[in-house]
Structure 1
């Protein structure tokens, strides 16, 4: 298992998490202020490692889809906790090198997820996957603005925590 079993059921604090090395293809790298690295000074995650984290569902409308969409993935704060990442800001980078700076407080105070599924289907690269930063727009209409839209990075490959 990519994380200890107790982590998957939430029995350990983030300071006690130990990340194993990924066994499958790496889909996310967290670098910068990482307290639980598993490859050099970075935290690398394969799909199974992200799936073992508690999955969160966000049902919302977005500017990129028609109608309401059911997104599923781990909470951003859970992924940061698994990596032992701390800081004030994150630079979230996509496969095409698009990058957005996101305050860590967005992940701490809002149920922002790293979506891995949309409407029950795995997000592939052509579908804005493998990871898509999704804010709870319908629960927080004040998030419906260009600044937050620009933070909703799709095809996420790396998070640099500063």
Structure 2
């Protein structure tokens, strides 16, 4: 095996190891930030993000399986919701962590549910409060009958001011897609 062949084979690997994962654009740059690819899902895709995002893994979208979502910074929210008769212990990734993982840039999110329901939520909701994309309730994975597999949960008990019609409308369950316009 020749040295030239080895160099051609190893050079791309070397670049992957030493290149910065994300480079910010400098003023005057035409191309903008360099996009960093997300890892590809290895399990069933349960969430797709699209729109104004810089990190993708399938075409121009970011596809997430359950393991990828569990790897994001998460929270536990113990709260009542308008749809449950008792207080629940919801757990899942912070929506803001998801937005940061895909390099989302936009003032709102367009959240789509499995049944065709759609809601728009201001990005500020997810930075002003620890809103999660709940994957479990009381340590049980959320199934379709339980508002899952993903459910936008606001910390209603910790912030009673969130119990408004507008915020209830943004608490989408059966979430399958988020678009950042």
Q: Which residue of 2 aligns with 1:44?
A: 63
Larger Rg: 2
Say which SS state the counterpart of residue 80 (structure 1) adopts. helix
Deviation string 1:2-43 (CA, Å, 9 cap, x unpaired) is xxxxxxxxxx99x89641111111100000001101110111
Q: Which residue of 1 aligns with 2:88?
A: 69
Identify which of 7, 15, 34 aligns with 2:53. 34
Q: Which residue of 2 aligns with 1:148?
A: 167
Work out whether residues 71 and 119 of structure 1, in 8 Å CA contact, stay in contact via their aligned partners in 2.
yes
Say which SS state the counterpart of residue 70 (structure 2) adopts. helix
Instruction: For residue 54 of structure 1, report the CA deviation from its aligned partner.
Output: 2.1
Work out whether residues 75 and 114 of structure 1, in 8 Å CA contact, stay in contact via their aligned partners in 2.
yes
Deviation string 1:72-114 (CA, Å, 9 cap, x unpaired) is 0000000111111110111100001100000011111110000
Identify which of 88, 105, 122 aligns with 2:124. 105
> Hey, what's the Cα distance between the residues in 2 that align with 1:124 and 1:112?
20
- Does residue 89 in structure 1 map to residue 111 in structure 2? no
Q: Which runs of 5+ in 1 are unaligned?
A: 1-11
Task: Between the two structures, name the one with larger relative contact order (CA 8 Å, sep ≥ 6).
Answer: 1
- Does residue 60 in structure 1 map to residue 79 in structure 2? yes
Work out whether residues 17 and 82 of structure 1, in 8 Å CA contact, stay in contact via their aligned partners in 2.
no
Work out whether residues 62 and 137 of structure 1, in 8 Å CA contact, stay in contact via their aligned partners in 2.
yes
Size of the alignment, in residue pairs?
150
Q: Which runs of 5+ in 2 are unaligned?
A: 1-20, 25-34
TM-score after normalising by structure 2? 0.79
> Hey, what's the Cα distance between the residues in 1 that align with 2:152 and 2:48?
15
Deviant stretches of 4+, over 2 Å = 15-18
**Which structure has the highest strand share of the two?**
1
RMSD: 1.6
Say which SS state the counterpart of residue 116 (structure 2) adopts. coil
